[in-house]
């Protein structure tokens, strides 16, 4: 507790110096710290500094400050933004992922209770980067085509900004790093909280506008590269875009760099082996869930790293990559998956990859347990993602 109070005091005393132009405090209670500790705290009437309880207050991801990025705080800068996309009208089986963003936030409340230092990664993402929660994109539940446009525009509005922290120098050469983006500017990273997996089509359109065609690392029990005629039957153009076909559309639009993308944790049944041939055409390599018994975690990490190399990477995590024993709250669960521990270790193995943005999708809290297993797993997986991001600047 002493350490916690010391951290809070340090954060309070640095607060004044770090409050920067443009920061608005009109809705922020007490001495709310925007950076670096980002931990809600207040000074009581007797002058003592007290950390707010993790179970109280309005819930944001990891209790990060809420910034109205799509509203009055349109010019606020950050390094990582959490952004909800509460869309689930592209699901084939159980609906409910529209409650994913609020569920993941609830599952994330305890992430930085002790300060947030990641022991195996040797980094504290909460003190290394300015992270904020931008709330949710307004998404209509009545019109998929319109909702998909809303998601692309909402994501772009954040991604197009300049990052809060400078890019820094190469740790080996000492030379200033150059951004990976097409416009030569340093952009923040956006972590999208889904939502069903359909949202990745508009997200990849947004990513493409800043980075061009991208390599994708995709953890999922399903391929999601199916042709609309195979998955859903494509009775209309709107129905053709759903949570099993979005990668097929993304490839048609040239958003995915062919041959440098990879799925992990695949274990779905198929219409036939031609689904794998189609998957090859769309541009993915595959790691099946059961290969963890032969390749091991190190072999899986090596295969992913060999596939994407130094390319900019978009990371998409379907929570159903994890076994339903550990993450039952999802739309299309498949048994025989990885444990939460295994997926977290694999993601830590991606340290050093140029992950430009990421998502966790298909979290449907209505099917979760009272113990919040699924939403905790989603939040903890994202903690590993932001830790990897904190260690790897987006430069070359």
For residue 102, give the nearest of 87, 86, 122, 114 by alpha carbon. Answer: 86
Any residues with CB less than 8 A from the CB of 20 and at least 6 apart, and which? none
Element of type H or E holding 347: helix 340-348
CB of 252 to Mn ion, least distance (A): 18
Q: Does 196 bind Mn ion (CB under 5 A)?
A: no
Nearer to Mn ion, 66 or 231 (CB): 231
In the 3-class helix/strand/coil scheme, how is 307-324 assigned residue by residue? HHCCCEEEEEEEHHHECC
How many other C-beta atoms lie within 10 A of the C-beta of residue 42?
15
Residues 214-243 that bind Mn ion (CB under 5 A): 220, 222, 224
Residue in 189, 197, 344, 354 binding Mn ion, rule: CB under 5 A: 197
Cα within 13 Å of Cα(180), Cβ side: 23
What would the x/- binding string for Mn ion be over residues 279 to 318, using CB under 5 A? ---------------------------------------x
Contact 104, 61 (CB under 8 A): yes
Using the rule CB under 5 A, give the single segment among 31-39, 190-198, 290-298, 367-375 that binds Mn ion.
190-198
CB of 347 to Mn ion, least distance (A): 17
Size of the site for Mn ion (CB under 5 A): 5
CB of 181 to Mn ion, least distance (A): 27
Cα torsion 122, 128, 129, 135 to 10°: value is 60
Residues 91-150 that bind Mn ion (CB under 5 A): none
CB of 333 to Mn ion, least distance (A): 12
CB of 359 to Mn ion, least distance (A): 10
Nearer to Mn ion, 32 or 284 (CB): 284
In degrees and rounded to multiples of 5, residue 310 shows phi and psi of -90, 5
Nearer to Mn ion, 224 or 275 (CB): 224
Nearer to Mn ion, 15 or 94 (CB): 94
Cα–Cα distance for residue pair 160/137, rounded to 1 Å: 16
CB of 146 to Mn ion, least distance (A): 22
Nearer to Mn ion, 156 or 263 (CB): 263
What tokens appear for 95 in the block?
Answer: 């609906």
How many other C-beta atoms lie within 10 A of the C-beta of residue 37?
23
Q: Which residues bind Mn ion (CB under 5 A)?
A: 197, 220, 222, 224, 318
């Amino acid at each position: 507790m002493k350490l916690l109070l010391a951290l809070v005091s340090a954060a309070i005393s640095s607060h004044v110096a770090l409050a920067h132009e443009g920061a608005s405090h009109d809705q922020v209670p007490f001495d709310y710290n925007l950076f670096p500790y980002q931990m809600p705290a207040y000074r009581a009437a007797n002058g003592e500094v007290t950390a707010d309880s993790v179970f109280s207050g309005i819930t944001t991801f990891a209790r990060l400050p809420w910034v109205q990025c799509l509203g009055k705080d349109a010019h606020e800068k950050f390094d990582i933004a959490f952004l909800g996309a509460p869309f689930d009208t592209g699901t084939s089986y159980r609906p409910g992922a529209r409650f994913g963003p609020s569920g993941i936030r609830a599952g994330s409340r305890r992430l930085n209770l002790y300060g947030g230092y990641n022991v195996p990664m040797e980094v504290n993402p909460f003190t290394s980067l300015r992270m904020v929660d931008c709330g949710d994109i307004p998404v209509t539940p009545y019109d998929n085509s319109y909702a998909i446009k809303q998601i692309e525009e909402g994501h772009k509005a954040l991604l197009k900004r300049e990052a809060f922290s400078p890019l820094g120098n190469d740790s080996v050469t000492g030379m200033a790093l150059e951004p990976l983006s097409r416009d030569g500017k340093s952009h923040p990273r956006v972590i999208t909280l889904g939502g069903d997996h359909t949202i990745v089509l508009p997200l990849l359109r947004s990513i493409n506008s800043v980075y061009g065609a991208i390599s994708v690392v995709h953890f999922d029990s399903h391929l999601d590269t199916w042709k609309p005629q195979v998955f859903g039957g494509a009775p209309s153009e709107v129905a053709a875009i759903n949570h099993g076909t979005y990668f097929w559309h993304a490839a048609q639009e040239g958003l995915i760099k062919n041959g440098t993308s990879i799925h992990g944790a695949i274990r779905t049944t198929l219409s036939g082996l031609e689904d794998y041939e189609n998957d090859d055409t769309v541009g993915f390599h595959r790691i099946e869930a059961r290969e963890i018994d032969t390749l091991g975690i190190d072999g899986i990490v090596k295969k992913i790293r060999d596939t994407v190399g130094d390319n900019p990477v978009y990371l998409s995590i379907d929570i159903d990559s994890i076994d339903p024993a550990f993450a039952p709250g999802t739309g299309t669960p498949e048994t025989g998956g990885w444990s939460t521990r295994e997926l977290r270790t694999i993601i830590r193995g991606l340290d050093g990859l140029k992950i430009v943005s990421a998502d966790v999708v298909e979290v449907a809290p209505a099917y979760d347990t009272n113990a919040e297993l699924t939403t905790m797993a989603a939040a903890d997986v994202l903690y590993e993602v932001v830790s990897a991001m904190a260690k790897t600047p987006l430069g070359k």
